Amino acid sequence: MSWQQRIEQQLAQRRADDSFRVRQANERGSGRLLISNGRRYLNFSSNDYLGLSLHPGIIRAWQKGAEQYGVGSGGSGHVTGYSRAHQQLEEALSGWLGYPRALLFISGFAANQAVITALAQKQDRILADRLSHASLLEAAMLSPAQLRRFAHNDVRALEKLLAAACEGQQLVITEGVFSMDGDQAPLGAIAAAARARGGWLLVDDAHGIGVAGEEGRGSCHQLRVKPDLLIVTFGKAFGVSGAAVLCSDEVADYLLQFARHLIYSTAMPPAQACALSAALEAIRHGDEQRARLRDNIAAFRRGAARLPLGLIDSQTAIQPLIVGENARTLGLAARLRERGFWLTAIRPPTVPVGSARLRVTLTAEHTREDVDALLEALHDETRE
């Protein structure tokens, strides 16, 4: 089969499965209102949980940073790309989260790949929750270590895997809040299981940071767990993009030697680091937004319990409604869109076959009327 034939065949397969993905260029994609082709939609699919992507103070911090430093960093952090703005952000993050060090990455995807592939070696074993984000599983598969997945949030299954003989080191990987189901990991029990076998724990808290815990310090702080490696990302509650790993001095020094994404890639623009420092301040003082988000989650769950759709046991901003078949999920999303609601249909392979869903994400920017309007539309569209 030629390149051309193989690609055409795989595209045809995706179309036949109703899982062909297309993008849409919008006038605005984040915040409460999404604007597309001149039409406004209530946006229930953004990860901008606190509405910070449009925060005037953060926008100004980015503008001022660009005036001071220029728009680009000019190189890898090991050459000339590391600035005072980066250093200040790293220090603020490590102090806030209670770690000796923080290292910045351009994205959560890059951070996970860099950290896991730099640490894991041939004799090692990586034990990852089955529902871990694609960037974590992909990193584990790229590393020379052996990857074993354990059943979602199943500490017994994890303990069994940890107990098997391993010549190298063991690394346990999970998330604070799972991105497709919105449920939380039992981090205390997972950390204890890893520690009992001398393994390390990596927690990716992309959806917990900024939202959970005191001052938004995230899932680990909320559950009083301190993983050896904590990944936080800035594309969700921070409203910007980028990521950081929080770790010990030794691990930070090690990553600066061996994490290829830090050595062979242009550093984040300093102006973005300025914006992220401003976003961090907004998050620390974001109790009001977090309370509004909590109220919206509670109101949505009360109403959604009466819908003929599967509601997952999630207490977070991610509230998936399980529909089942791809075609039915797409149809429902399309009808809601006609009514002015922007929701994403999530299909396999992102989620298991037969569990296609509408992924509702709530934010602090939604009003109570927005949530009620969505519930009413869902009710109408799912009536037999």
Ligand X SMILES: *Cc1c(COP(=O)(O)O)cnc(C)c1O
- Active-site positions read 47, 133, 175, 179, 204, 207, 236
> Is 208 near ligand X (CB under 6 A)?
no
Binding string, 5-44, against ligand X, x = CB under 6 A? ----------------------------------------
* Closest among 124, 378, 153, 110 to 245, alpha carbons compared: 110
The size of the interface with ligand X (CB under 6 A), counted in residues, is: 15
As measured in angstroms, the least distance from the Cβ of 306 to ligand X is: 29
Which residue pairs, CB below 8 angstroms and at least 24 apart, start in 39-44? Answer: 39/340, 40/340, 41/337, 41/340, 41/341, 41/342, 42/340, 42/341, 42/342, 42/366, 42/370, 42/373, 42/374, 43/342, 44/341, 44/342, 44/343, 44/360, 44/361, 44/362, 44/366, 44/374
Identify which range of 21-29, 86-94, 106-114, 279-287 contacts ligand X by CB under 6 A.
106-114
Residue positions counted in the chain: 384
Q: What DSSP assignment string belongs to 259-294?
A: -HHHHSSPPPPHHHHHHHHHHHHHHHT-HHHHHHHH
* Cβ pair 234, 279 in contact under 8 A: yes
Q: Which of 243, 297, 336, 374 contacts ligand X by CB under 6 A?
A: 243
Residue of minimal CB distance from ligand X?
108
Strands 146-150 and 170-175: unpaired
* Cβ pair 51, 239 in contact under 8 A: yes
As measured in angstroms, the least distance from the Cβ of 261 to ligand X is: 12
Encoded tokens for 379: 């009710």
Measured from the CB atom, the residue of 108 and 210 that comes closer to ligand X is 108
Encoded tokens for 364: 């602090």
> Is 108 near ligand X (CB under 6 A)?
yes
Encoded tokens for 172: 């346990």
As measured in angstroms, the least distance from the Cβ of 163 to ligand X is: 27
CA 315 – CA 36 distance, rounded (Å): 30
- Binding residues among 139-198 for ligand X as defined by CB under 6 A: 175, 179
Identify which range of 192-200, 233-241, 257-265, 330-338 contacts ligand X by CB under 6 A.
233-241
> Is 107 near ligand X (CB under 6 A)?
yes
As measured in angstroms, the least distance from the Cβ of 133 to ligand X is: 4
Backbone angles phi, psi at 149, to 5 degrees: -100, 145
> Is 129 near ligand X (CB under 6 A)?
no
Q: Which of 52, 85, 206, 259 contacts ligand X by CB under 6 A?
A: 206
> Is 239 near ligand X (CB under 6 A)?
no
> Is 261 near ligand X (CB under 6 A)?
no
> Is 48 near ligand X (CB under 6 A)?
no
Tell me which residues touch ligand X (CB under 6 A). Answer: 107-109, 112, 133, 135, 175, 179, 204, 206-207, 233, 235, 241, 243
